[in-house]
Amino acid sequence: MNYRREKIISIIIIIISFAIIVGITLHIFFKPAKPPAMEIGIMPKIVGYSFFEVRAYYADQFDLEVTAEEYSDTYLEGAVLSQEPAEGTEFTVGSTTVKVTVSKGAKPVETTVTTSVTEEDPTETETDAPEEPLRVDGPIENPEAAFEHSYPDVELELTAAGMEVPESAAELADKLYAVLRRHGADAGFLYYNPHTGGSLEYNADEKFSSGSIIKAIYARSILDSSIDLTAEYEMTEELLNSRYELVDGQPVGTMFTAEELIRAALVKSDNTAYKMLYHYIGYSKFNEYAAGLGLPQRMTDENYWFRLTARESAAYFKDIYAFSKQHVNGEFMFECMANAEYRDMFSAALADKTVHEKYGYLPQEDFYTLGDCAIVSGRTDYVLAAYVRNTGENLDVKFFQDVAEITDKIHEIVMEQ
């Protein structure tokens, strides 16, 4: 009897031991995979910076959501006044929404105006004409320097050079003029057709802040040289455009190749990447390049931002177009420009085209300057350059969309003639 009981107990022990061994084996070899770790970042300070630029710089890090707009005597219109999550806190890269309050600029001064209705002829009322502000030419040290002025209500025309607008496109030309004319001399425009040599122009010789458009022109100048795209350069603290503008979010001390810096400057409009290229590679190639095109821009040790006219901008981009067809580095540059992260301007209206573009933006005390220059590639190619100075809480990207959409239709008609 005891023997039989001991035998049963032994069998039970063997079964339990086997079950434990099987369980351990399954746990070791068949345990479920852990979900991939989420990348954690440290929230930068974005208060005081332009909402537009913050969105461009950190598009791959987090999303922005405007929760309120308030008047501010400290920050210009469009600047971020508050942020949540706060600076220095951890956030999940790629899946975090930052809520921001945006500045409406200084609160307007309230005044009491007494009015009266009279039959007086307004032409008989003498008024002092406002003094025209001084126009400043040449390069500037900082793209945020207050050096531009607004020139509204100036009578200008849309003109054709070296081409005739087909009768079938006359209505479109009138529509394009109406879009440009709404901004008076605070808009500049030039369309260039490399197949015919003709152009459409509006206020094409007025100077505007080029902002980040200069990055594409500078990249063109150094890519045409014997540049080693694999050469590496260190991102030092002294070369940061601001302490929060880290190339690709990498820490100070990271080495970047020339190719990586050019890509960051063109695709992400990265100011630090542009500053590093300018510091390490220099500006002699740019000055030779501009002189070779007969254009007046010259860089110095301190100045690497410029004011450009639509005509000068188009001249540079005409050359970039030729460069893309003739040079081994042209395809790389074109690929970068076609994949620029900010696509709310020309590209937004030309979804069926490949738009190789670079935008530029300058916020100022009571208005901003915005520009876009591009080579548009479709059935046939053309160059497009436009600038606008404007006021308001939101950037007038629709101006560029309208200009691109109408010009593209005119171009198609011209090429069918």
For residue 336, give the nearest of 415, 408, 264, 279 by alpha carbon: 264
Give the pLDDT of residue 5.
Answer: 60
**pLDDT value of position 42:** 87
d(CA 388, CA 370): 5
Task: From 242, 229, 219, select the one nearest 334 (Cα to Cα).
Answer: 219
Domain with CATH 3.30.10.20 in the chain: 40-103
Task: Give tens-digit pLDDT for 220-252.
Answer: 999 987 899 999 999 999 999 887 789 999 999
Q: Tell me the CATH number of domain 40-103, given options 3.30.230.10, 3.10.105.10, 3.30.450.20, 3.30.10.20.
A: 3.30.10.20
For residue 32, pLDDT beyond 80: no
Report whether 388 contacts 150 (CB < 8 A). Answer: no
115: confidence class by pLDDT, cuts 50, 70, 90: very low
- When pLDDT is averaged across residues 102-121 and rounded to a whole number, the result is 49
Q: Which CATH number is correct for 158-230+282-293+307-416, 3.40.710.10, 3.40.50.1360, 3.30.420.40, 2.60.120.40?
A: 3.40.710.10
Mind listing the pLDDT tens digit for each residue in 270-308?
Answer: 999 999 999 999 999 999 999 999 999 999 887 788 889
Region 90-115: mean pLDDT is 71
Q: What's the pLDDT score for residue 145?
A: 44
| Average pLDDT over the chain, rounded to an integer | 82
Q: Smallest Cα–Cα separation from 347: which of 213, 356, 371?
A: 356
For the cut 50, the answer to whether the pLDDT of residue 132 exceeds it is no
Q: How far apart are CA 408 and CA 349, in angstroms?
A: 9
Q: For residue range 344-395, list pLDDT tens digits in order.
A: 999 999 999 999 999 999 887 778 899 999 999 999 999 999 999 988 778 8
Alpha-helical regions (H) of 282-385: 284-292, 310-326, 330-338, 346-349
Q: What is the pTM of this model?
A: 0.67
- CATH 3.40.710.10 domain residues, the chain: 158-230+282-293+307-416
